[in-house]
Amino acid sequence: MAQHEQLIRYIAVIVLIALPSLTLGAIKRDSMCSIVREALKDALYICCGMIGLAVVSHVICIFK
């Protein structure tokens, strides 16, 4: 059950990053090629933001 939940969580994070960045890319750009390029850029920003949040929350937990 725990392994199953872990797998769902990994897939969920990938879906949660990929689909919104594709949507935002389609809003910002018009041609298909530039939509994908923009989506990749957005996905990178989201990943950086998530890693940053994880580091900050980890540091807060250490010093708490």
Partner 1 sequence: MAESESKRIESSHSRSAGLAILYGWLLPGGGHFYLGHRNKAVLFCSCLLLLFSAGMVIGYGKAVDPQHHWVLFIAQVCAGPVSVLGWVVGERMDPMVVNIAPRLVDLGVVFTVVAGALNAIVISDAYARATRLKWGMTSEEGRGDSHGAT
Residues that bind partner 1 (CB under 8 A): 5, 8-9, 12, 15-16, 19-20, 22-24, 26-32, 34-35
Q: Residue 16 Cβ, how far from partner 1 at the closest point, in Å? A: 7
Degrees to nearest 5, angle at CA 44 with 4 and 62: 65
Q: Residue 27 Cβ, how far from partner 1 at the closest point, in Å? A: 5
* Spatial contact of 21 and 39, defined as CB atoms under 8 Å apart: yes
> Rounded to the nearest 5°, which phi and psi values hold at 26?
-70, -30
- Please say which residue, 3 or 31, places its beta carbon nearer to partner 1: 31
